Amino acid sequence: KAGVTQTPRYLIKTRGQQVTLSCSPISGHRSVSWYQQTPGQGLQFLFEYFSETQRNKGNFPGRFSGRQFSNSRSEMNVSTLELGDSALYLCASSLETGQGSIMNTEAFFGQGTRLTVV
Amino acid sequence: QKEVEQDPGPLSVPEGAIVSLNCTYSNSAFQYFMWYRQYSRKGPELLMYTYSSGNKEDGRFTAQVDKSSKYISLFIRDSQPSDSATYLCAMMKTSYDKVIFGPGTSLSVIP
């Protein structure tokens, strides 16, 4: 069974540009969450999508956005990049239980996209 | 004050030692508690999770939750060099809530 796939693995962008990151969840998983990881702030929750709808949102500015497609693949976009956006961006997918709740306790992470803003 | 606090380490122990990793939290609404392990240049992987207070054991790993003290622990018995990683505690209010992570503790197990 393939794991969570994130592309690209590494990215260098210039301040002011925008970037799109992609995440393909484990087959059958319909929930996708995005996190930003930095040495200073640790792992911070960005947002979660389920069935193409945003279910939860963290405390990030509107420059950070995401979407989910009908096949559960997800993308996140960061516009007007700042130096402080340099981080490892991780996505995690979770399985929906029969009762309809998402068991985020069993989230599987991808290897992340390392974004460097120069 | 952050919602979840964790000693960042680094923690260095000899092989075979018992390791204790701890987190404290401020929000009494948290009910689900998880421990993740993250190797360098990899995404976190779930070690175990517990619901509410109590203990849970899985092989060499034991998780403890004390909700009255807002304190959770992960014990690693007979530590191995392959346990060298960053350990992240995480918690949620409900099973479909957003996950809040601690900053992580870096562990090195010396052969």
- B100/chain A closest Cα distance in angstroms: 7
User: What local confidence, expressed as pLDDT, does residue A100 receive?
Assistant: 45
Which of B99, B100, B101 has the most A C-beta neighbours within 10 Å, making it the best mutation to test the interface with A? B99
Contact assignment for B95 to A55 by CB distance below 8 Å: no
B104 shares contact with chain A (CB less than 8 Å): yes
Sort strands B45-51 and B32-38 into parallel, antiparallel or unpaired: antiparallel
pLDDT in tens, A64-103: 999 999 999 999 999 999 999 999 999 999 876 544 445 5
Instruction: Say what the pLDDT of residue A1 is.
Output: 63
Nearest alpha carbon to residue A96 among A25, A45, A42: A25
Check B100 against A45: CB less than 8 A apart.
yes
What's the 3-state SS for A40-102?
CCEEEEEEEEECCEEEEECCCCCCEEEEECCCCCEEEEECCCCHHHCEEEEEEEECECCCCCE
**pLDDT one-digit tens code per residue, B29-63:** 999 999 999 999 899 999 988 888 889 999 999 99
Q: How far is A14 from chain B (nearest CA, A)?
A: 23
Could you tell me if A16 and A80 are in contact, meaning their C-beta atoms sit under 8 angstroms apart? yes
pLDDT digits (tens, 9 = 90+) for B54-85: 899 999 999 999 999 999 999 999 999 999 99
Tokens (6 digits) for B90? 């995480």
- pLDDT-derived band of residue B97, with 50, 70 and 90 as boundaries? confident
pLDDT at A96: 64
Q: Is the pLDDT of residue A24 over 60?
A: yes
Query: What pLDDT does residue B53 have?
Result: 83
**pLDDT attached to residue A104:** 58
A45 forms beta bridges with A35
The b/e string for B13-41 (b: 16+ C-beta within 10 A; e otherwise) is beeeeebebbbbbeeeebbbbbbbbbeee
Mean pLDDT of chain A: 90
Q: Which residues, including other chains, have CB under 8 Å from residue A39's CB and lie 6 or more apart?
A: none
A35 in contact with chain B, both atoms CB, cutoff 8 A? yes
